[in-house]
Amino acid sequence: MLSSRFAPAAVASALALAAVFAPIDAHAGPSFGLDANLVFPVDSPNSNVGGGFDARIGNKISLTALTLTPEVKGGFFSFSGFGGSLDAIRIQGGGRLGINAGILEPGVFVHLGYGHVTSADTGAFAYDAGGYLDLTLLPLVSLGVHAAYNEITLSPVSVKTVDAGLHAALTF
């Protein structure tokens, strides 16, 4: 029996082998996605709900029961508060991990990168983490909903938001 200290390595090795020997299916290949977001400021009681969008490009890999999508994304969001409006852009890399359940795919995502608050002309490390639910009715097109926590780690005050929205993706 494996000791608990070798379990993570065993799981990682099994996933790597599954990726190498996984069959190719209609849910795998280059992927391009667009997200439309409602942006809710966190720790900013005098701020209003805003909006934003993201564009994603990656490569969806089918691991039989799981899908892995390494991707790069860029986006913009804006909301009013902080004595005016706050506008920001982000460029990040990361990925999505989903459960391939036929036409439904629930999953999680994480992205790390750079965020620039254009209204303050300053930038810093930015990240997001969240979840999604995709519906794939056609092999090429997925539609879904998502929610995420986002942060641009400015000093002395970080910009923290929660967003929720709709997205669409094409996988070739």
Query: What would the pLDDT profile of 87-121 be if each residue is shown by its tens digit?
Result: 999 999 999 999 988 899 999 999 999 999 988 89
Radius of gyration of the chain, Cα coordinates, nearest whole angstrom: 18
- High-pLDDT (> 70) share of the chain, %: 83
Confidence (pLDDT) at 8? 59
Residue 82 CB partners (closer than 8 Å, separation 6+): 44, 47
Spans of all domains in the chain: 25-171
Is-contact 95 127, C-beta < 8 A?
Answer: no
pLDDT category, 83, cuts 50, 70, 90? Answer: low
Whole-model pTM? 0.82
pLDDT, tens digit, 9 for 90 and up, residues 48-81: 999 999 999 999 999 889 999 999 999 999 998 7
Task: Examine the pLDDT at 26 and tell me if it is beyond 80.
Answer: no
Domain 25-171 of CATH type 3.10.20.30? no
Residue 116 CB partners (closer than 8 Å, separation 6+): 88, 89, 90, 122, 123, 152
CB atoms within 10 A of CB 113: 17
Count of positions (residues) in the chain:
172
Q: Could you give the count of Cα atoms lying within 13 Å of 159 in the half-sphere of its Cβ?
A: 32
Q: Cα dist. 4→8, 12, 16 in Å? A: 8, 14, 19
